[in-house]
Structure 1
Amino acid sequence: MRRQRLERHQVWLYLGAVLLGLGLGTLAPQLAGTADALLWPVLGLLLYATFTQVPMAAVPTAFAEGRFMAAALLGNFVLLPAAVWAMVQFLPDDQALQLGLLLVLLVPCTDWFISFSQLGSGDAARATALTPVLLVLQLLLLPLYLWLISDADLRVVFSPADIWPAVVVVLLPLGLAVLTEAWAGRRPAVAAAVDRLGWVPVPLLAVVVLLVAVANVGAVLADLHLLPIVLGVVSLFLATSLLMSKTLASVAGLDLAQGRTLAFSMGTRNSFIVLPFALALPAGWETAAIVVVMQSLIELLGMIFCVWFIPRVLFPDAGRQARKTVGGAG
């Protein structure tokens, strides 16, 4: 199987993993402790494999594309956070639901958005150069966003005693990935191994989703009534991001490939990064992690639509647009 094909159909793998995990957790509840113990090391491996695909050395290249970079940063770190703030004002008074949505909707994707940009006729090279900038900024800005927007007492929710495993499971793989990239720059064999690691995130994320379902089957089933709310918010977010990307691309004078890449950047979110923090929340906040997983699955279904919609409707090529104009005139 080609890697591109695996990434195109990954959503079905994750849905299957969720259903299998719920089945195992229901039939064998004694597996919950084992699944919970396995979850953190597997999540660490997933983040390491993901971070190795983020080229930190490409940061200077990203800033060479001034208009595209400005549009991506303005959209992802100013306009979309403002839109998310407006959306949460209309949510039910459920702090765990709100926090889960804030965690996952405030941070732009740094992994599969590259694949979807390529599948949707965007510019994969620009997407790759943009990812390290998005990664660094979101790690710095997410605490500020949560402090400004969330009604929860963050000092209690994110107490050091609870949150330190999440910090380790994010920062340790990130540091190892940076060292690996430096090593790969000197050793072709290591570079080839890093390239092969690009196959790993999809199956590892399926394992993570399965373990989350097994370990939290009770919370998942109890929170199923929230699925329509999460579906509505995530769908509204995606529609808003597409409209904003179209406007920003027009104002910035971006070409078609840049515009498509901007749309995929603004439409995808970084569940990989925030899931450890959602899982580390204290008892009573399990809903936040369930919401993050729900958002990921809904987003992936949305990306199946966007791979068709963005290059054909939102940013159509000149020939397609001309044919539509002639057809409409006729």
Structure 2
Amino acid sequence: MEHHQVAAYLAAMAVGALLGWVAPGLGPGLEHAINPVLGALLFVTFLQVPAAELVRSLRDGRFLSAAVVVNFVVVPLVVAAMFALLPSDQAVRLGVLLVLLCPCVDYVIVFSGLAGGSSRRLLAATPVLLVAQLLLLPGFLYLFMGSEPADIVEVGPFLEAFVVLIVIPLALAWALQAWAARSPAGQRVSDGATTAMVPLMAATLLVVVASQVPKLGNSLGDVVAVIPFYVAFLIVMAFAGKAVAHLFRLDASSGRAIVFTGATRNSLVVLPLALALPDSLAVAAVVVVTQTLVEVLGMVTYVRLVPRLVPVDDKRSAVPA
């Protein structure tokens, strides 16, 4: 499974797209399955990050600073550069801003780990990134679009995502780690759980794609209009993330993690915000969903290309992280 994981992920997305197309009525039910499947995936991811290493990573001020700079300085500048070129529809622009200005705090850890990035450093950075986006998003929306859009940001979806996708899986992973350290039975359970990484990632991609494809049908024009911007964002942030990692003199593992955190966005958390908008702004949700689909394909590509972009023999690798 590890050797053929990229093929498995592409197949899962293809099956999800087909399922969403032929059975759109399943979409709402599958949408409710996203958080449980994603939570299980993150539990397995956290299980491979010893608690002691996570605590040490919290003291890594250089990596945390790089993560903040790439997400809350570089990304807004990139978004500002493309903002004037976006379609003039306010709902489309709002959807793009909502999703691009918020860094991912969940499956970025998994994809970064698959590319040899430092999962434990990204995990340690998630509380900082989540709180920062919650505080800064209203201000960013105000700068780009004025006061009215800034008023839609709510704390609830962010807190729910943090508890369901980070706190609970992490607590369960640490409990299993403690059991495995004391008991052969616990070690067997832990070893068995870690083998589920690839199937869980495939299941996550299938569920996300299948649940969101039915929503794209009536807004094809809006989808087509924003896809080039999302693709351009992924391309630009690959090199911007590498530049930030170089600026902070990070090693290859940390540098790859910075590339991933700069490129992946918090679509699964901001989607409830977009869905709660008035009917006049309903297209924003479709724009957010479109970013999810583009990003998933982009992450599969990143897993293959980022190790080449930030190779282990990079000069930064000589500098301790």
TM-score by length of 2: 0.75
* Structure 2 residues not aligned, in runs of 5+: 181-185, 316-321
Q: How does 1:164-313 map to 2 (within 5 A)?
A: 166=157, 170=161, 173-174=164-165, 176-177=168-169, 180=172, 183-184=175-176, 187-188=179-180, 189=186, 192=190, 198=197, 199-200=199-200, 202-214=202-214, 216=215, 220-312=216-308
Does the 8 Å CA contact 1:46/1:205 hold for their aligned counterparts? no
Q: Report the Cα offset of residue 83 of structure 1.
A: 1.9
Deviation at 1:203, TM superposition (A): 1.2
Distance in 1 (CA, whole Å) between partners of 2:208 and 2:89 is 25
- Structure 1 residue 269: deviation in Å? 1.7
- 1:73 matched to 2:68: yes
Match of 1:103 among 88, 98, 109: 98
Query: What pairs up with 1:37-48 in 2 under 5 angstroms?
Result: 38-39=29-30, 41-48=32-39
Tell me which moved more, 183-192 or 290-299: 183-192
Paired positions, count:
302
**What residue number does 1:23 align with?**
22
Distance change in 2, residues 1:269/1:227 (3 Å): same
Q: Structure 2 vs 1, CA of residues 24 and 41 (structure 1 numbering), >3 Å: closer, same or farther?
A: closer
Q: How far is the alpha carbon of 1:254 from its aligned partner?
A: 1.8
CA distances 1:193-220 after superposition (whole Å, capped 9, x unpaired): 9757755354144224323334x3xxx2
Q: How far does the alpha carbon of each residue in 1:59-105 deviate from its partner, in whole angstroms, 9 at most, with x for none?
A: 64333222222111111122212321332222112122112212221
Which residue number corresponds to residue 114 of structure 2? 119
Please show how residues 128-139 of structure 1 align to structure 2 within 5 Å.
Answer: 128-139=123-134
Give the match for residue 327 of structure 1. Answer: none
Paired with 2:312 and 2:42, the residues of 1 have a C-alpha distance of 33
State, as a whole percentage, how many aligned pairs show the same letter.
33
Q: CA deviation at 1:176?
A: 4.2
Shift of 1:253: 1.6
Instruction: Tell me, in whole angstroms, the C-alpha distance in 1 between the residues paired with 2:110 and 2:162.
Output: 24
In 1, the alpha carbon distance for the partners of 2:246 and 2:150 equals 42
Tell me, yes or no, if the aligned pair for 1:95 and 1:152 is still in contact at 8 Å.
no
CA offsets 1:297-317 (integer angstroms, 9 cap, x no match): 2223323433343332x3245
CA contact (8 A) 1:157 1:282 kept: no
Which AA in structure 2 matches 1:24?
A
Deviations 1:107-164, CA, capped at 9 Å, x for gaps: 2223333333333333344334334433343344334433443458337756x8xx97
Structure 1 window deviating more from structure 2 (57-66 vs 232-241): it is: 57-66
TM, length-normalised to structure 1:
0.74
Corresponding residue SS for 1:153: helix
In the alignment, the residues of structure 2 paired with residue 242 and residue 278 of structure 1 have an alpha-carbon distance, to the nearest angstrom, of: 26
Which range moves more in the overlay, 57-66 or 225-234?
57-66
